[in-house]
Amino acid sequence: MKIKMYEVREDEKKAIERVAEELGADVSISSNILTPQEAESLRGIDGVSILGRTTVNKELLDGLKKAGVGYVSTRTVGYNHMDVAYAAEVGIRLCNANYPPYGVAEFTIMLMLLALRKYKPAMWRQGVNDYSLSGLQGREIRNMTVGVMGTGKIGRAVIKDLGGFGCRILAYDPYPAEDLKNTVEYVDGDTLLRTSDIITLHIPLMESTRHMINREAIAKMKTGVVIINASRGELTDIEALTEGIETEKIGALAMDVFEDENGIYHESRINDIIRNRKMAYIRQFPNVVLTQHMAFYTDANTDSMVECGIRGIVEMKEKGSCASELHP
């Protein structure tokens, strides 16, 4: 079993060695993204593993098929960078990764606290020796109503973490979890939008959820609402969020993800001009916190992602399927 892994970070290497030895796989690595041109060199390779900067489109899939590569794993939970339908057409099998929800849940709570305690302007001031308190008064979570949109694994973990703060917790999910009904108040989406002081998104990205936080949704929210997004950037309409910040309808915004973040996040752009104008504009506001899609990035999650990336390919080839295989 020969596997080549792309976009490999230094922190993944020990886990790669461990999992490859455990599964008896011959694994080679590259720090580069996988391109259609690179596909020509992959003859004799059974499967490839990537991260989110590689776009698995028709051109790449055709190249992989021509080279005889039958399997592609992405070491990410999200897979909107992969053309799942076309892969099925050409007979290349795909899988994604999964990891425990705790790291993202903890990061979500941190984003809430950063937004509520106005930590961004406090850090700015400290850098120029301004230690005054004017304008930095925060709010306490225990006095607020937090709306959790989506009660899958990460949403559930966020709810558990919020339990220690003593706040009121509302939840919306098309499929409410019976075991959470004594912990949260399940409400419809509109009620959550109208009632919550903080709204945190943990909804998968689908066509039906793209730009679900738009002008219409924001108009229903409380004035001064705090919006948290550590899920998918495309869930929010950035123009609508910007208007909400400018008009002070939105009190604070903290996001670990951003629409069209590829080519910016997870790369150094120190000497470059940021071409995503929406990102470049909105990040200026003192009540907007942007982080570089790093909520997932913990030691435990890195190990899980590497294991899924290798094990998924091995199991699809040797056992005929794997738990995280993707289908159209």
- Tell me, yes or no, if 261 is annotated catalytic: yes
- Tell me, yes or no, if 266 is annotated catalytic: no
CA dist 133 and 125 (Å) reads: 10
Looking at 7, 38, 234, 261, which residue is catalytic? 261
> Which residues on neighbouring strands pair with residue 289, listed in sequence order?
254
CA dist 253 and 114 (Å) reads: 10
The answer to whether 158 and 152 have CB atoms below 8 angstroms apart is: no
The answer to whether 174 and 151 have CB atoms below 8 angstroms apart is: no
H, E, C per residue of the chain:
CEEEECCCCHHHHHHHHHHHHHHCCEEEECCCCCCHHHHCCCCCCCEEEECCCCCECHHHHHHHHHHCCCEEEECCCCCCCECHHHHHHHCCEEECCCCCCHHHHHHHHHHHHHHHCCHHHHHHHHHCCCCCCCCCCCCCHHHCEEEEECCCHHHHHHHHHHHHHCCEEEEECCCCCHHHCCCCEECCHHHHHHHCCEEEECCCCCCCCCCCECHHHHHHCCCCEEEEECCCHHHECHHHHHHHHHCCCEEEEEECCCCCCCCCCCCCCCCCCCCCHHHHHHCCCCCEEECCCCCCCCHHHHHHHHHHHHHHHHHHHHCCCCCCEECC
Looking at 232, 259, 307, 315, which residue is catalytic? 232
Looking at 156, 202, 293, 311, which residue is catalytic? 293
CA dist 308 and 310 (Å) reads: 6
- Tell me, yes or no, if 232 is annotated catalytic: yes
CA dist 222 and 257 (Å) reads: 23
Q: Which residue numbers are catalytic?
A: 232, 261, 293
